[in-house]
Amino acid sequence: MFIPKRILFEKNALEYETGINTYNYFKHNTKVELIHLKNNKFKENIPGKSTYDFYREGKKTLVIGVTKGMKFQSCKPSANYQLPLLSGCTGQCEYCYLHTRLGDRPYMKINANLDDILSSAQNYIADRLPEKTIFEGSATSDPVPVEPYSNSLKRSIEFFSEVEHGGFRFVTKFTDIDTLLNIDHRGKTEIRFSLNTNKVINNYENKTPSLEKRIEACKKIINAGYPAGFIIAPVFLYNNWEDDYRRLLIKIRDSLPNVTEYPLTFEVISHRYTTSAKNIILETFPDTNLPMDDKSRTYKYGQFGYGKYMYSKEQIKNIKIFFEKEINNIFDKKIIKYII
């Protein structure tokens, strides 16, 4: 569970249940500074003049805010729309795509007006009837580390359990999921875990739980009856990468219950980066050994209007062939949603 060094409360944040609950949870903790903002200027209350220092202080900061825009972003190929519960992450993964999306906002932010967000989700569902509308709860965040006091996931899971044509899914690297285990979710929420080889986790996924702890949390989720899945991302090509990822898949199979109510889902994403992310990464992690040689990559525009440096078409083809073969050979009850 994330215990911040400071919490910044936006104006009006304490008018909502989430804001009140978070305030009450920490109000007696003398190690947590509670700051009530008058002008909602977050950066002025986070120390650190350099990118390096501001990033690290930002990662110790929690913002309780109110999201005003209710136009949900698309979320292909994961879902139809993003559900804007939170933004940011408490982990410090060197490759993270949030270096592009939230480069100058490394802090975690909880949107307190959850009822407004879920009401908007209901409108999006109504607009697409009779089709089912799926919402992604972790498009710009990992919501799990703050769940014990935010209850954003719990309330969202309960909401979608009652909605006939809606579905909810989110992914996490973290393990604070015990408060989700006794919810009557009715199979409407899929919980996935982001996994990688030990080489990648140890080298790049700073301040995150181990592979073993993530798989153990997934076992709890499956035993609680949730649909479950895995995002294997980002896939890095290095010496013996095939052996390492094959061992990862076998470890997943051997660690989980033999019988699952729902098929496991797999989403596989190869490593890519933007120029802006690369610049931030090099400032934030000056000793990084992330493979970011532009000349060895292919440049391609993405769905949000900016370009990314990706592996070549031939390399991505090899990744697809490898994972399709291995997942199909190793798992009986599974769905491969995409490999990109």
pLDDT, tens digit (0-9, with 9 covering 90-100), for 67-126: 988 899 999 999 999 999 999 999 999 999 888 777 789 999 999 999 999 999 999 999
Number of structural domains the chain divides into: 1
**Which residues lie below 8 Å from residue 181, measured CB to CB, with a gap of 6+?**
220, 221, 224
Q: How many CA atoms lie within 13 A of 224 on its CB side?
A: 21
Q: Report the predicted TM-score, pTM, of the whole model to 2 decimal places.
A: 0.94
Handedness of CA 94, 144, 63, 45 (dihedral sign): negative
Burial (CB count within 10 angstroms: exposed 0-12, middle 13-18, buried 19+), residue 268: buried
Q: Tokens in use for 296?
A: 């060895």
Q: Tokens in use for 105?
A: 């906002």
Buried b / exposed e along 10-38 (16+ C-beta atoms within 10 A):
beebbebebbeebbeebeeeeebeeeebe
- Residue 300 belongs to some domain of the structure: no
- Residue 329 belongs to some domain of the structure: no
Q: Tokens in use for 250?
A: 């076998």
- Residue 221 belongs to some domain of the structure: yes
- Residue 292 belongs to some domain of the structure: no
pLDDT at 103: 77
- Residue 282 belongs to some domain of the structure: no
Phi, psi of 60 (to 5 degrees): -100, 10
Radius of gyration from C-alpha coordinates of the chain: 20
Mean pLDDT of the chain: 95
- Residue 270 belongs to some domain of the structure: no
- Residue 45 belongs to some domain of the structure: yes
- Residue 153 belongs to some domain of the structure: yes
CATH of the domain at 13: 3.80.30.30
Per DSSP, helices labelled H in 108-165 are 114-127, 147-150, 152-161
> Which helix (DSSP H) or strand (DSSP E) does residue 164 occupy?
none
pLDDT at 215: 98
Domain enclosing residue 214, as ranges? 6-257
pLDDT, tens digit (0-9, with 9 covering 90-100), for 253-297: 999 998 889 999 999 999 999 999 999 999 999 999 999 999 999
